[in-house]
Amino acid sequence: MFCLCKGKNMFFRVKGVFDNFFDMSYWNGVRKKIESHLKQYNFSEIETPLLEYVSLFERGLGYETDVVSKQMFIVETKGSKDDKICLRPEGTAGTMRAFLELQAQLSTPFKVFSYGSMFRYERPQKGRLRQFHQMNLEVIGASSIQYDAWLIKMLHVLFLEKLNIDSFVLKINFLGQLEDRQAYSKALQTFLEEKREHLCQTCQVRLEKNVLRVLDCKSSDCQTIIENAPELSDFLSEKSKQEWQELCDLLHELSVTFMHDPQLVRGLDYYNKTVFEFVSTDLGAQSAFCAGGRYDGLAKQLGSKSEVPSLGCAIGIERLLLMLEAKKEQLSESKDLLICIIPFDQEQHTLALLLADDLISKGKCADVLLEDQKVKNKMKKANNLGAHFVLLLGKEEQENNTVTVKNMMSGEEKVVLQTEVLKNL
């Protein structure tokens, strides 16, 4: 027996991460449902490394963003300090970096998705972990605003129809071009300067370095102040206004219900034009379970000679699974029927292993209980494992080249030839 007790020699998991011993069929079921939906829209799966250079995110996300300034896990290496690396905090910058490296071999629009762990140093709470999982979707090399409507519609169908979630709100804002945001930033800074002393300490710093981040603050005092702040929509150029109107019209035509949130800016600097969040009414403070937008300038920030108009989003898997908990059984990946083989004594062990090998070679799921235990205890263990059939091998079965097959659902037992086991399952 193994005893798990607290003591100075016992190891426990790192704060803000978790072990998944019980719900992998649920995770895989939801993940495969999402992937199947994405493939219907001609997305291809890719994989990027967990390790990236810190400078990739400093240049791509912005030095003053919370992710870069507070939340990255820096990995200590033996190389130059100029080549610092980190555990990736998000997926878009790494995907764009990979695209730019392989650009000559790829055609656009480059529609891809990836799944994996992200890492941020944050205070753990419901829906927020230090190691979490995301499904990232990117459409690289897509300049038309119609792609924005197409991506949002695809997500709307996924959540509403494929996963049957009805407790969410889609929030959208339009950030316009760089010139639009620069004009708005000046007006917002002038407005907030008069209220500086009422802003939180973080936003007082943001006021100097990146005033748009104030709109993203969760402090109730700051939220009250920005309720009366100028709105970005009043500073959009004619071209931006036309694109914003086109996006709204397309979403209406596609029967996508949304809410315009003028304070929505997202927490990363690479966004321009469209930004959006799918927000749940069931998640509490960490309410956004899918978010993204357009990032036309990211490629140039990462060293490209020209812009690569692009858009994308990330789905937070842990938050999504919290929302789908009531549908856990129906969304879980179906398991193959388990066949447990129980040899009575050591003399039947070889026969049991050969029988299991034969069943597995024919596509069945089989396990052999080889512990030195009473048959009664092995039957209990097979039941706990969820076995549908148990194959009993005693001295008599071994001598007669037979097997006793027990259906664990009905309790029915029958003796069959070892060569005919498959026909009787």
103 and 40 in a common domain: yes
Q: What is the mean pLDDT of residues 140-149?
A: 97
Q: How are beta strands 272-280 and 168-174 bridged, if at all? A: antiparallel
Summarised one tens digit per residue, pLDDT across range 4-28 is: 445 567 888 888 888 888 889 999 9
Cα 245 to Cα 173, 182, 325: the distances in Å are 11, 21, 37
What is the Cα–Cα distance from 304 to 295, expressed in whole angstroms?
14
391 and 257 in a common domain: no
261 burial type by CB count under 10 A (0-12 exposed, 13-18 middle, 19+ buried)? middle
124 and 47 in a common domain: yes
**Position 389 pLDDT exceeds 50:** yes
Domain-embedded: residue 152: yes
Q: Cα torsion at 326, 291, 186, 222 (round to 10°)?
A: 20
* Structural domain range at position 420: 338-424
Please say whether the beta carbons of 274 and 240 come within 8 A: no
What is the Cα–Cα distance from 84 to 87, expressed in whole angstroms?
11
364 and 297 in a common domain: no
Summarised one tens digit per residue, pLDDT across range 204-216 is: 888 887 888 888 7
In sequence order, what are the residues at sequence separation of 6 or more whose Cβ sits closer than 8 angstroms to the Cβ of residue 35?
A: 45, 113, 115
Domain-embedded: residue 185: no
117 and 66 in a common domain: yes
410 and 358 in a common domain: yes
Summarised one tens digit per residue, pLDDT across range 163-199 is: 999 889 999 999 999 899 889 888 888 888 888 888 8
Q: For 374-403, give the DSSP string.
A: -HHHHHHHHHHTT-SEEEEE-HHHHHHTEE
251 and 280 in a common domain: yes
Q: pLDDT value at position 7?
A: 54
**Position 2 pLDDT exceeds 50:** no
**Domain count for the chain:** 2
In sequence order, what are the residues at sequence separation of 6 or more whose Cβ sits closer than 8 angstroms to the Cβ of residue 344?
A: 375, 392, 393, 394, 395
DSSP state of 125: B
Domain-embedded: residue 8: no
DSSP state of 306: S
Q: pLDDT value at position 81?
A: 63
Summarised one tens digit per residue, pLDDT across range 319-346 is: 999 999 999 999 999 888 999 999 999 9
Q: pLDDT value at position 408?
A: 94
Q: pLDDT value at position 3?
A: 45
Which stretches within 83-160 are classed as H helix?
92-102, 146-157
Cα 189 to Cα 6, 182, 193, 200, 244: the distances in Å are 54, 11, 6, 15, 24
What is the Cα–Cα distance from 225 to 344, expressed in whole angstroms?
76
325 and 342 in a common domain: no
Give percent of the chain with pLDDT exceeding 90.
66
Domain-embedded: residue 105: yes
**Position 249 pLDDT exceeds 50:** yes
Q: What is the mean pLDDT of residues 300-309?
A: 94
What is the Cα–Cα distance from 12 to 73, expressed in whole angstroms?
20
Characterise 343 by phi-psi region: left (phi > 0), alpha (psi -120 to 50), beta (else): beta
153 burial type by CB count under 10 A (0-12 exposed, 13-18 middle, 19+ buried)? middle
Nearest to 348 by CA among 294, 395, 308: 395
Residue 378, domain CATH: 3.40.50.800
331: which 2 tokens? 């969304």
Final residue of a domain: which of 282, 302, 329? 329
In sequence order, what are the residues at sequence separation of 6 or more whose Cβ sits closer than 8 angstroms to the Cβ of residue 149?
A: 247, 250, 251, 254, 256
**Position 149 pLDDT exceeds 90:** yes
Final residue of a domain: which of 274, 302, 329? 329
Give percent of the chain with pLDDT exceeding 70.
96
Which residue did the predictor score with more confidence, 156 or 183? Answer: 156
What is the Cα–Cα distance from 113 to 314, expressed in whole angstroms?
9
250 and 366 in a common domain: no
Final residue of a domain: which of 279, 308, 329? 329
Q: pLDDT value at position 201?
A: 85
Domain-embedded: residue 415: yes
What is the Cα–Cα distance from 182 to 179, expressed in whole angstroms?
5
Give me the chain's average pLDDT, please.
Answer: 91
357 and 322 in a common domain: no
When pLDDT is cut at 50, 70 and 90, the band that residue 217 belongs to is: confident
Catalogue the long-range contacts made by 70-73 (C-beta closer than 8 Å, 24 or more residues apart): 70/121, 71/120, 71/121, 71/122, 72/119, 72/120, 72/121, 73/119, 73/120, 73/121, 73/130
166 and 37 in a common domain: yes
**Position 295 pLDDT exceeds 70:** yes
Which residue did the predictor score with more confidence, 131 or 70? Answer: 131
The reported pTM is 0.87
Domain-embedded: residue 18: no
Domain-embedded: residue 276: yes
388 burial type by CB count under 10 A (0-12 exposed, 13-18 middle, 19+ buried)? middle
What is the Cα–Cα distance from 129 to 137, expressed in whole angstroms?
21
Q: What is the mean pLDDT of residues 32-51?
A: 97
As a residue count, the chain comes to 425
Q: pLDDT value at position 1?
A: 38
Q: How many helices (H) and strands (E) does the chain have?
A: 15, 16
What is the Cα–Cα distance from 247 to 149, expressed in whole angstroms?
6
Which stretches within 41-138 are classed as H helix?
54-61, 66, 92-102
418 and 322 in a common domain: no
What is the Cα–Cα distance from 262 to 250, expressed in whole angstroms?
19
Q: What is the mean pLDDT of residues 50-58?
A: 93
Q: pLDDT value at position 407?
A: 95
Domain-embedded: residue 132: yes
Residue 285, domain CATH: 3.30.930.10
When pLDDT is cut at 50, 70 and 90, the band that residue 160 belongs to is: very high
What is the Cα–Cα distance from 382 to 367, expressed in whole angstroms?
9
For residue 413, what are the β-bridge partners? Answer: 406
